Amino acid sequence: MKNIVLTGFMGAGKSSVGRKLAERLGMSVVDTDELIERSAGMRIFEIFSRYGEQHFRELEKKAVAEASKLESYVIITGGGVVLREENVKNLRKNGIIIYLHAKPDVIYSRIKHETHRPLLQVKEPTKKIKELLEFRAPYYANNDFMVDTSDLTVEQVVEEIVKKIKKP
């Protein structure tokens, strides 16, 4: 079976949906951020502050290439994975790409108490979320189908995905 790849902005629900979805379908799960942290021996935040975003993106490219070789996995990606065409190409070779969307205010309410995402540790996170979402919209549009998670529970998103992938 093909991999199921979850893309989308920080706070769109990729991690919680990915884990539940894998459980529901009896699939294994891998998270590209975790692969990066494991191989670098550092948290994402530390990689950004020590070496900068570009270095992180290089590590991310390697993690994506590694994850793309798997089969029958749910692949949870970091929010910026889609920015490199090569990443999407790799993931698509053996995977269905599902974009999880969420509205900016919903994203903010989900992430406001979290501190592990370097890109959102700024003075005006709501403004930053809107700007990044707008810039990334055409990249996220590169998907096989999308689910708006704004008003759905994790379980509802999982069921939505299961319904869509089972359609002939």
Helical spans, DSSP H, in the chain: 14-25, 32-40, 44-51, 53-68, 85-93, 104-111, 125-140, 154-166
Q: Which of 4, 13, 29, 33 binds ligand S3P (CB under 6 A)?
A: 33
> Which one of the spans 66-74, 87-95, 114-122, 158-166 is the region binding ligand S3P (CB under 6 A)?
114-122
Closest approach, Cβ 119 to ligand S3P, in A, equals 5
19 binds ligand S3P (CB under 6 A): no
18 binds ligand S3P (CB under 6 A): no
Closest to ligand S3P by CB, 59 vs 163, is: 59
> How many other C-beta atoms are found inside a 10 Å radius of the C-beta of residue 134?
10
Q: Tell me the backbone φ, ψ of residue 24, rounded to 5 degrees.
A: -60, -35
Q: Which of 34, 42, 118, 128 binds ligand S3P (CB under 6 A)?
A: 118
Question: What is the per-residue binding string for ligand S3P in 61-100, x denoting contact by CB under 6 A?
Answer: -----------------xxx--------------------
Closest approach, Cβ 164 to ligand S3P, in A, equals 21
Name the CA radius of gyration of the chain, rounded.
15
What does the alpha-carbon distance between residue 86 and residue 38 come to, in Å, rounded to a whole number?
Answer: 22
Closest to ligand S3P by CB, 96 vs 129, is: 129
Closest approach, Cβ 78 to ligand S3P, in A, equals 2
Largest CA distance in the chain: 47
Q: Report CA 85 to chain centroid distance, whole Å.
A: 15
Q: Where are the beta strands (DSSP E) in the chain?
A: 3-8, 28-31, 73-76, 95-101, 145-148
Q: Tell me the backbone φ, ψ of residue 4, rounded to 5 degrees.
A: -110, 115
Residues that bind ligand S3P (CB under 6 A): 10, 14, 33, 44, 78-80, 117-119
